[in-house]
Structure 1
Amino acid sequence: MRRALTILFLMAASFAAGQTNEAPRFSFPRWGPSIKAGSVYNFTTDIEGGGSFAVNRYFVEAGLARLWRFDRMVSVSAGYGQDDYRFSGLGTDPWNNIDNFRVGLFARWALDEQWVLFAGPSVRSYGEAGTDLDDALVGTFFGGASYRFSDRLTLGPGFMVAGQIEDSTRYFPVLLVNWNLTEKLSLETGGGFAATAGPGLSMVYDFSKHWKFAVTARYEKKRFRLNGTGFAKNGVGEDRNVPIIGNIGYFFYPGGHVSAVIGYDFAGKISAEGADGLKLYENDYDSSLMAGLVTSFRF
């Protein structure tokens, strides 16, 4: 926890990474490097059938963006994160540290004053420490378009294709939205902590020039390759839940952001499959509290 909070306080990730056509509130250079990082701690929760676990999640990501103007840009990024699971009362732990590596490309391109296109392919690796990188690789693609109906409303269709380790590829629609309900309150498509299974929906309140409050909900499903030491040797682990996250962010200008996050995970389930695909373990777990810090800086 102490290591995570130290890493977290120094760096972390932007909370509203998935905004649609909203103009940035600071100017970008033509080429702009960035750094993101963060850590969130999921407090101990009980597993149905016995045992408990806690998770310390952290990540760091570096990127480089080429901007022609705010609505025409291309960026590349590479990042690393770890989910440090700590089980107790199970006899044999299903898994321990899950490493994830990611490289990605993102493009946002305005066709005119109303239409903007988005595309974001990435390659990711989710695997327990000790697994081969190529055994844990998956590909993901996000694409879509948004239409600016007015100064207050931008909507558009999107879709996401997410590869799954030893499972069928997931296809699901995404609604791109930026709706200014009032001068300070807006409903937005928002990004998640590090690399999640897809964007969520955020209610955002601009308290002042520097302070922003937000609440985000999403569905998360993570599948990862297991190593050859646990009871599901060389199999696949899975952790899925529905987090609802509150965010209090302070924005430095021209390009800094630090936020405190606190939230709750609901409808949690963990499972493990053997190398032959047979289910060896599956149990629900209780709702759990999460808390941490996230931040990002552009240079």
Structure 2
Amino acid sequence: MNKPLALSVLAVSSLVASPTLLAQEQQKSSYRPSPFTFSASRITTGTADVGYQGNELQRDQWMFDFKTGMPLGKKWFIGAGVGYDNLDYDWRSPSLKDNTQTWDKIERYRASLSLSYRPNKNWMFMLAPKLQYAYADTASASNAASYGAVLSGMYRFNSGDMLGFGVAYLNDIDEVRTVPFLAVNWQITENLKLGNPFSAGFSGPAGLELSYQLSSDWNVGFGTSKRTSRFLIADEKDTAEIDEWVSFARVGWDISRSVSVNAYVGYFFNGELELNPQNSKEDIDNQGAAALDVTFKF
């Protein structure tokens, strides 16, 4: 690996909070300046071999998210979010381009709503419809629509810990997927916690992260998740999909009540590139990763 590396697995790959993150927000007693959140992330991956024909791929990515939410009485909570991602795929010795992959730039637009309901002190249910457009510079946005919904339920124990299950129904570009996931918010000790670092959706399940609160301002975490990125590369329903696992380590710094920074290092493994309708698949070598996310609440 000859470059500083990356992590496209940030929580900002989703638009509304996961059930666990939403539960945490609803249980916090600390002051929050406003229900609005904006996050920006810079992600870069190392160079990885793709297949066995001398192809190499290096990825850079910008991700931007804006979220908002508010309670509707004591039992209901509504949230919304929009996002934009700009992906730069740098192919080297790309014989794959003979199969119409002259795509180098990918744009992804995302929108989502969420509605959660707490009928009593123990249960919380959430429904989150999602819409996404993901397409390369060789395709049109009009043919790149995907839609779906995430449904989850969580049980809150007397200790305050929460455990639940969810499923995402995703009508992605020319493919329908159902993604189950575990929703958890478990305070193991005063400083040690197990939770979901991401939101379930088009990018995959919510993942798991074990985090430790070093002080009031600093925390660290270690986690893993499966990540999926599917986008249109030609207007005749030609798609590319990258499916991979990632493990990561995170350092978080709460600069103030309104600003927080998270730095990630990660490692992608078991990656695969699938092209359709050719139904051709190429393995992607393991690669390191790094990312920086800055979040503002205002």
**TM-score of Structure 1 vs Structure 2, range by shorter chain:** 0.7 to 0.9
Deviation, 1:269, is 1.0
Q: State whether structure 2 residue 270 is matched by structure 1 residue 262.
A: no
Matched with 1:81 is 85
What does 1:198-209 correspond to in 2, within 5 Å? 198-209=205-216
CA offsets 1:238-280 (integer angstroms, 9 cap, x no match): 111001121111113423211101100000111222xxx223x
Q: How far apart in 2 are the matches of 1:153 and 1:163?
A: 33
Closer, same or farther: CA 177–255 of 1 in aligned 2, 3 Å? same
Question: How large is the RMSD of aligned CA atoms in angstroms?
Answer: 2.7
Closer, same or farther: CA 70–174 of 1 in aligned 2, 3 Å? farther
Q: State whether structure 2 residue 295 is matched by structure 1 residue 291.
A: no
Tell me, yes or no, if the aligned pair for 1:99 and 1:127 is still in contact at 8 Å.
yes
Q: Which amino acid aligns with 1:270?
A: L
Deviation, 1:197, is 2.1
Q: State whether structure 2 residue 33 is matched by structure 1 residue 26.
A: no
Matched with 1:90 is 94
Q: How far apart in 2 are the matches of 1:68 and 1:187?
A: 28
Q: How far apart in 1 are the matches of 2:278 and 2:184?
A: 40
Aligned length: 279
Deviation, 1:140, is 2.2
CA offsets 1:55-90 (integer angstroms, 9 cap, x no match): 002111222322358984212111110221101012
Matched with 1:172 is 179
Which of 100, 115, 129 is equivalent to 2:123?
115
What does 1:1-299 correspond to in 2, within 5 Å? 13=12, 17-18=17-18, 19-20=20-21, 21-22=23-24, 23-24=27-28, 26-28=30-32, 32-49=35-52, 50-67=54-71, 72-91=76-95, 93=97, 94=101, 95-167=103-175, 169-191=176-198, 196-227=203-234, 235-273=238-276, 277-279=277-279, 281-299=280-298
* SS at 1:219 equivalent: strand
Deviation, 1:35, is 0.9
Tell me, yes or no, if the aligned pair for 2:13 and 2:63 is still in contact at 8 Å.
no
Q: Which amino acid aligns with 1:185?
A: L
Closer, same or farther: CA 195–216 of 1 in aligned 2, 3 Å? farther
Deviation, 1:112, is 1.9
- After TM superposition, the score normalised by the length of structure 1 is 0.84
Closer, same or farther: CA 239–138 of 1 in aligned 2, 3 Å? same
Q: Percentage identity across aligned positions?
A: 21
Deviation, 1:219, is 1.0
Closer, same or farther: CA 194–84 of 1 in aligned 2, 3 Å? farther
* SS at 1:113 equivalent: coil
Q: How far apart in 2 are the matches of 1:284 and 1:68?
A: 48
Q: Which amino acid aligns with 1:155?
A: L
- After TM superposition, the score normalised by the length of structure 2 is 0.84
Q: How far apart in 1 are the matches of 2:240 and 2:257?
A: 41
Unaligned residue ranges in structure 1 (runs of 5+) = 6-11
CA offsets 1:39-62 (integer angstroms, 9 cap, x no match): 110111122312211000211122
